[in-house]
Amino acid sequence: MNTIKSIALLAALSALLIWIGGMIGGQQGALIALGIALVMNFTSYWWSDKIVLSMYKAKEVTYEDAPDLYGDVQELATNAGLPMPKVYIVPEQTPNAFATGRSPSHSAVAVTQGIMKLLSRDELKGVLAHELAHIKNRDILTGSIAATIATAITYLIYIGLFFGGGRGGRGSNPIALIAMLILAPLAASLIRMAISRTREYEADKGGAQICGNPLYLANALRSLSGYSGRGKFTVSEQAADSTAHMMIISPMLGGRMAKLFSTHPPMEERIAKLENMAMGRS
């Protein structure tokens, strides 16, 4: 059901992109928008992992470099029936983790120095298992495509606003363009948010099964919840926002608006679901 929902939401994002292209430049604009989506999706499919890892200056490690971390990923990957992913450490003190890659055979798991210091080994296992569940469910590719289309929508509107639209479209109407400038990115963000939130619950459940104890992740989320909002990555805010859906917790600063538009479900709900799993209620 979650997979069908994600596909439907991705289709909605794509339709929104093409509709905006049509509004700005008529039939020609719609075709250009479709072309932009195809090019960006192709780029996202092949190189999104390298782009994200480079953005965060992540360093690949071996068993000799980080025996506990590497060994735990190896054990959990075996439990999940996955090929061994590459393991990276991000030189950041903000606690977080993410997985990337286009498929289970081409995947990587990255953790920050901060999360390794904050969490116990069992708690970190819960986080790693959550990320491996994302890899197993192929959520990374879905999220990357969603983020790419959402970004394309925003840029397309800026182009329409700058050039005033084509002759065949409705972009010459400044009021319509301004409305699209406000509403379309909002709609894209809401759809991207829905995709990410849907997959987070599934990854929590899968991660609990992979590590064998739902409380590992529940306790990790509780520790991370206490830290959330007190720091952020040193990358640009735009970069942190575009990759927020990939993280175990959102890298953006807290606050009511941040929580409203967060790519992640409420932390307390995730913890409650995991605790219910531990008690055999789900």
pTM metric for this prediction: 0.77
Residue 206, amino acid: G
Residue 15, classed as helix, strand or coil, is helix
Predicted local confidence at residue 5, as pLDDT: 58
Q: How confident is the model at residue 255 (pLDDT cuts 50, 70, 90)?
A: very low
Cβ atoms of residues 176 and 267 within 8 Å:
no
Q: What does the alpha-carbon distance between residue 269 and residue 13 come to, in Å, rounded to a whole number? A: 27
* Catalytic (active-site) positions: 131
Write the pLDDT tens digit of every residue in 177-224.
666 666 666 666 666 666 666 788 889 999 999 999 999 999 999 999
Q: pLDDT averaged over the chain?
A: 79
Per-residue pLDDT, averaged over 232-244, amounts to 59
Q: How far is CA 112 from CA 65, 86, 93, 116, 206, in A?
A: 15, 15, 7, 7, 22
Alpha helices in 67-112, H assignment, sequence order: 67-80
Q: Does the structure show a pLDDT above 90 at 6?
A: no
Q: What does the alpha-carbon distance between residue 212 and residue 85 come to, in Å, rounded to a whole number? A: 20
- What phi and psi values does residue 255 have, to the nearest 5 degrees? 125, 165
